[in-house]
Each structure stands twice: as C-alpha cells, then as structure tokens.
Structure 1
C-alpha cells in the first residue's frame, strides 16, 4: 500500500508540474496571427483587419515584430534584454526603443509620446493572441487626494481610446 501511495503522490506531482509549465517566450509563440481590431473612442467604434507576426531573424536574441493594420505593416524588432527576468525591447527601427516586460504569457509596455500615454498588452496563448492598447491624453490628467500626509496626491488618466483584437494563429 505504501508503494501505491508513493507512486500516486509522485504521479500527482508530475501532473501539477506539467500544468505549471512556463512557456518559452518568444519561441513558443512564433507565428502569424490574424483577426479584426476594434477601436473605440468617443467618436464611436471602427473595425479594421489586423495581423501580428512574430518570427525568427538570423540573431537568436532578435525577432521580427510586425503589426499590420489594414494591410499596412509596421516592421519592428523584439529584442531579448534579459529573458529570465522577462525584460525586452521593442525596436521601431527609427531610434525609438520601447521597454517591455513579459509576465505569465503577457507582454506589457507603457510609453508616452506627443502628450499621450499608451499601455500595450499582448496576451499569448497557444492558438491566439489578445492584443490591446489603451490610450489617454496627458492633458486630461485628474488629481485627487493630497489632503494630508496619510492621503497622498493621486493622478488619474481617463482612457480615451480602447483598441482590442483577438488574433488567431495561422
């Protein structure tokens, strides 16, 4: 009976370990993803065809990172900075390099450009990618709190544009 119990404990630990397998980013998610991007703002909702390509290059630490909006590609590179820590760069090939962090199959990036703040989120799965961008104008900043040492001043940024797509891997 002890042998059976030990075997069952061993087997269950293997099952738990298999379920907690961490994907090898970006290698596990290479491919071309396609779908429709929905852009929502105060002006309404717009839908456009979208693709995302994550493919190998000649360098082991650099990957093609291509976003295609309505058949117009934006050719970037994803560069591994520290894979163990989940630190990457998105190189736009024009002097702009955006820092990105990968955690639990999601690549995140925050950046400010021309008075706007953007948050990007790419959630990878084996067969699809959830792509999301949130956009706010810095001039729309709200301020609350700050009435005592215990209650700090807090800045809020109302989201003005939502972009979301579920892209399916080819």
Structure 2
C-alpha cells in the first residue's frame, strides 16, 4: 500500500510540473529584434544575405510593427490581431495588400498567391529564436497524379523552386 501511495504521489507531482509549463502569449511574449542570415536556395545555387525581423508594440493594443529587413532594406508591415483565441491575424503590407495568417503551436503561418505564384511563410518562435521559412512555387509548374476517380482522385502538386530559411536570434534588451 505504501508503494502504491508513493507511486501515486510521484505521478501527481510529475503531472503538476508538466501542467505548469509556461504558457506563452503571442505576440507579446515574442516581441523584440531578431537577427541572422537568410539562406536562399534555388536550382541555381545558394545565396546568403543578412536579415532582421522586428516585432514591436504600437500605440494600438491589437496592432504590432512587423518589419522584415533583407540586406539592410526594411519592409514595414503591421501585424493585426483579429481573433486572439482562434489565432487569427493579418499581416498588412501597408499598401493595400493584407495577408491572412494563423498562429498555432508558437508558429505564425501564412499561405498566399501572387502573380501566378504560391508562397508559404512560417515563423516559428521559441524563447529567444525565430525559425523563418518561405517556400515558393509557380502555379504553372503544377503536376497532376491520381486517376480522377472517387477512390483515387486527382492530386495536384506544386514543385517548390525557392526555399528561404533563416535562424534568427533575439537580441535581449
């Protein structure tokens, strides 16, 4: 009986410690300036350029500065929280273009089409790091497999032609 009680106590202690894992709040817990090197991979080879990502507060509670800087050239966007509970955001490029975004599992996802190209962006946040990735494919390069039947439908593939990846470190204030 003592072993059973000891086992239950130990199990409860482990359960409580796991359950108390730090909850994070996006974007507030990930504000800051992140710096690193963007690696661009294409069929023509690989290129590296300096990159920064700035996520900072504004005067509005649901709007944040969202700045991507490539090779010292900033792109000033705004991150807008639409529904925090559902993780629904928008990235406003401040020129009439607004990209829908979804935050889940500490990652901000966006998928969009522009001028016959699909782009997928992924910003995965950890305590002091951001894993940044953009995948690019031309819609004209679509492949088709399958038979077009109920059992084996057509499946359309889009070969990725450009991969942009960066591991950016957050500067601590």
Using the size of structure 2 for normalisation, the TM-score is: 0.92
Where in structure 2 are the equivalents of 1:98-117 lying within 5 Å? 98-117=99-118
Q: 1:157 corresponds to which residue?
A: 158
Q: Please tell me whether residue 71 in structure 1 is matched to residue 72 in structure 2.
A: yes
CA distance in 2 between counterparts of 1:3 and 1:145 reads 58
Equivalent residue pairs, number? 169
Q: 1:46 corresponds to which residue?
A: 47
Q: Could you tell me how far 1:14 is from its partner in structure 2?
A: 2.2
Q: Could you tell me how far 1:7 is from its partner in structure 2?
A: 5.4
Q: 2:14 corresponds to which residue?
A: 12
CA distance in 2 between counterparts of 1:143 and 1:26 reads 39
Using the size of structure 1 for normalisation, the TM-score is: 0.93
What SS is found at the alignment partner of 2:109?
strand
Q: Could you tell me how far 1:148 is from its partner in structure 2?
A: 2.1
Where in structure 2 are the equivalents of 1:137-152 lying within 5 Å? 137-152=138-153
> Which runs of 5 or more residues in structure 2 are unaligned?
none
CA distance in 2 between counterparts of 1:152 and 1:11 reads 50
> Which runs of 5 or more residues in structure 1 are unaligned?
none
CA RMSD of aligned residues (A): 1.6
Q: Could you tell me how far 1:3 is from its partner in structure 2?
A: 8.1
